[in-house]
C-alpha cells in the first residue's frame, strides 16, 4: 500500500515538474512581444508563424531545384571565411552558388544572379570558373527565357550581378538592403575619416587606400556594392521589374521570402521552396557555410550581426523541421559543395563548356526528368583564365 502511494506520488511529482518547465518563462521566438532585442518588426517571424508557412507550403505544388556555380574564389584563408577555423591555418575554395527553382508551370526563379564583373577573376587572381548564367542554364538543359523571377539573397556584387541579362525577370529585394547602403553612403565623416562610409578601398576624402591591402573595405557597410551593381538594380526599378519588399513575402504558393536582416547584410533574405524532400531554404551569404549551420559556427561576416545570423540558422531549422532538417539549408559558399560531404549537392557534374563551373541537381518534382547527363563529368577542374568578353555584349 505504502509502495503504491509512493509510486503515485512520484508520478504526480514528475507530471508537475514537466508542466512547470513547460510554463517556465524561457525565451521563445513564438511571440511578437518576445522578439529578440534590436530585431526589426518586419524582420521578425515567430516560430509559430514559420511553422504555419511550412503547413501552408506543404499543400502547395512541388518545385524542382538546382544550383550552379557562378564563379569560384580560390585559396581563401579559412579563418577569413570562418573565424573559428582560423587556427587551422589553411585555405579553402569557395563556390558562388546560384539557385534555380522550377515551378509546376515550368517557369524559373533564380535565387541570386551571380557576378558580372569578369575583371575580378583576373584582379583577385585567385578566382576561377566564371560562366554567364544564361549559358549555364542552357548547358544544363534549361531555357533562360523561362526565368521570370530573381530573388536577391542580398545585393553584393558577387550575388546580384547579371540582372540586365534577364530583362523580363522581376527582381525581389528587401527595402532594408537599399536603405542601409544609402544611409551609410551619407554617414558623417567627422570622427572616422570616411572609413565607415567607404564605398571601395579608396578613402573618399583623401583618395588613399583604406585598410590593409587584402582586407580593404570588406567589412564596411557600403563596400560590396559597386556602382555597377546598384545600376543593375536601378534598371529593374525604372523598368517596373522590381518588387521592393519589407519582410516576409509569399511570391507564390510554396515559394516564400523570409527576412534575415543583418544575417549577412542589413536586408538579407531567405527563400523557402516546397519540394519532395521537404522545405528547402536558400540563404545566400546568410547561409555562407552549410557546415557552419550544422555546427553552429558563424561564417562570412560582413555587415553581419552574428546573433542575427544564428537566428537565421534557426529559421532554417524550423522551416526544415518536418523533413531533413539542416540538410535542406542551401548555402552560397559552402566549400564542400558539389561533393558527398554536402549531401544535398552530391548529385553534381561539370557544366559542359562551362569553364570548369559546376551544377548540382538538388531535387526533382515527381514526374520531372533529370537534367544530370547520362555520363556526368565529375573530374574537378580549375580555370583561372578570364573568358573573352566585351563590356556591352
Partner 1 sequence: MEVGRSAAETVMSRASVLLQLWMTPKTIVLSLLVLGLVGVLSFATMRELGRATTPAPVAPQPARPTRPALTAAEEAFIKAMTPIHADVQRSLMRASLGQILYKTNDLSSTELKTRMTQALATYGRAETGLRALEPPGSLVRDHERYITAVRLLQESAVEGLKMFKDGKDDHLLAAYPKSQEASDLIREVGGKFWPSEFPPN
Q: Of residues 40-99, which lie at the interface with partner 1 (CB under 8 A)? A: 73, 76, 94
Q: How far is CA 389 from the centre of its chain?
A: 28
Least distance (Å) from partner 1 to the CB of residue 52? 28
Instruction: For residue 261, state whether it binds partner 1 (rule: CB under 8 A).
Output: no
Instruction: Pick out residues in 312-341 that bind partner 1 (CB under 8 A).
Output: 336, 338-341
Instruction: For residue 379, state whether it binds partner 1 (rule: CB under 8 A).
Output: yes
Coil, helix or strand for 266? coil
Coil, helix or strand for 293? helix
Least distance (Å) from partner 1 to the CB of residue 119? 3
Q: Are 166 and 147 in contact (CB under 8 A)?
A: yes
Q: Are 58 and 333 in contact (CB under 8 A)?
A: no
Residue from 40, 51, 60, 218 binding partner 1 (CB under 8 A): 218
Residue from 235, 306, 368, 372 binding partner 1 (CB under 8 A): 235
Instruction: For residue 294, state whether it binds partner 1 (rule: CB under 8 A).
Output: no
Pairing of strands 108-111, 147-151: parallel
Instruction: For residue 132, state whether it binds partner 1 (rule: CB under 8 A).
Output: no
Is the alpha carbon torsion for 110, 248, 171, 81 positive or negative? Answer: negative
Pairing of strands 278-282, 269-275: antiparallel
Residue with the three cell numbers 523557402: 272
Element (H, E) at 248: none
Instruction: For residue 199, state whether it binds partner 1 (rule: CB under 8 A).
Output: yes
Instruction: For residue 10, state whether it binds partner 1 (rule: CB under 8 A).
Output: no
- What is d(CA 372, CA 350) in angstroms, rounded to the nearest whole number? 10
By the 10 Å C-beta count (0-12 exposed, 13-18 middle, 19+ buried), 332 is classed as buried
Cβ nearer to partner 1, comparing 144 with 376? 376
Instruction: For residue 192, state whether it binds partner 1 (rule: CB under 8 A).
Output: no
Instruction: For residue 11, state whether it binds partner 1 (rule: CB under 8 A).
Output: no
Site track 138-177 with partner 1 (rule: CB under 8 A), x = hit: ------------------xxx-----x----------x--
Instruction: For residue 263, state whether it binds partner 1 (rule: CB under 8 A).
Output: no
Instruction: For residue 353, state whether it binds partner 1 (rule: CB under 8 A).
Output: no
Instruction: For residue 215, state whether it binds partner 1 (rule: CB under 8 A).
Output: yes
Amino acid at each position: 500500500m505504502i509502495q503504491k502511494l509512493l509510486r503515485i506520488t512520484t508520478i504526480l511529482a514528475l507530471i508537475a515538474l514537466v508542466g512547470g518547465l513547460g510554463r517556465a518563462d524561457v525565451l521563445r521566438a513564438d511571440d511578437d512581444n518576445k522578439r529578440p532585442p534590436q530585431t526589426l518588426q518586419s524582420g521578425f517571424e515567430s516560430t509559430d508563424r514559420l511553422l504555419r508557412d511550412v503547413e501552408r507550403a506543404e499543400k502547395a505544388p512541388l518545385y524542382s531545384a538546382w544550383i550552379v556555380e557562378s564563379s569560384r574564389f580560390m585559396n581563401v584563408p579559412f579563418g577569413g571565411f570562418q573565424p573559428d577555423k582560423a587556427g587551422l591555418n589553411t585555405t579553402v575554395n569557395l563556390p558562388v552558388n546560384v539557385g534555380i527553382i522550377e515551378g509546376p508551370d515550368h517557369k524559373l526563379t533564380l535565387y541570386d544572379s551571380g557576378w558580372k564583373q569578369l575583371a575580378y577573376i583576373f584582379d583577385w587572381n585567385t578566382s576561377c570558373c566564371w560562366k554567364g548564367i544564361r549559358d549555364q542554364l542552357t548547358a544544363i538543359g534549361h531555357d533562360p527565357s523561362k526565368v521570370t523571377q530573381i530573388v536577391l539573397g542580398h545585393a553584393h556584387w558577387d550575388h546580384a550581378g547579371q540582372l540586365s541579362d534577364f530583362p523580363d525577370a522581376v527582381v525581389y529585394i528587401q527595402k532594408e538592403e537599399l536603405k542601409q547602403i544609402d544611409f551609410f553612403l551619407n554617414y558623417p565623416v567627422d570622427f572616422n575619416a570616411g572609413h565607415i562610409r567607404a564605398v571601395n578601398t579608396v578613402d573618399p576624402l583623401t583618395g588613399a587606400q583604406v585598410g590593409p591591402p587584402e582586407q580593404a573595405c570588406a567589412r564596411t557597410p557600403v563596400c560590396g556594392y559597386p556602382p555597377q551593381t546598384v545600376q543593375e538594380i536601378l534598371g529593374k526599378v525604372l523598368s517596373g521589374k522590381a518588387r521592393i519588399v519589407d519582410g516576409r513575402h509569399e511570391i507564390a504558393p510554396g515559394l516564400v521570402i523570409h527576412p534575415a536582416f543583418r544575417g549577412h547584410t542589413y536586408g538579407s533574405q531567405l527563400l523557402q521552396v516546397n519540394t519532395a524532400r521537404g522545405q528547402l531554404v536558400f540563404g545566400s551569404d546568410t547561409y555562407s557555410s552549410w557546415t557552419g549551420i550544422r555546427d553552429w559556427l558563424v561564417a562570412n561576416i560582413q555587415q553581419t550581426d552574428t546573433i542575427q545570423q544564428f537566428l537565421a540558422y534557426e529559421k532554417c531549422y524550423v522551416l526544415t523541421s518536418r523533413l531533413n532538417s539542416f540538410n535542406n539549408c542551401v548555402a552560397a559558399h559552402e566549400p564542400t559543395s558539389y561533393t558527398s560531404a554536402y549531401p544535398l549537392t552530391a548529385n553534381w557534374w561539370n557544366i559542359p563548356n562551362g569553364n570548369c563551373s559546376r551544377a548540382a541537381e538538388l531535387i526533382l518534382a515527381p514526374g520531372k526528368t533529370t537534367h544530370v547527363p547520362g555520363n556526368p563529368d565529375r573530374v574537378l577542374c580549375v580555370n583561372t583564365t578570364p573568358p573573352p568578353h566585351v563590356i556591352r555584349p
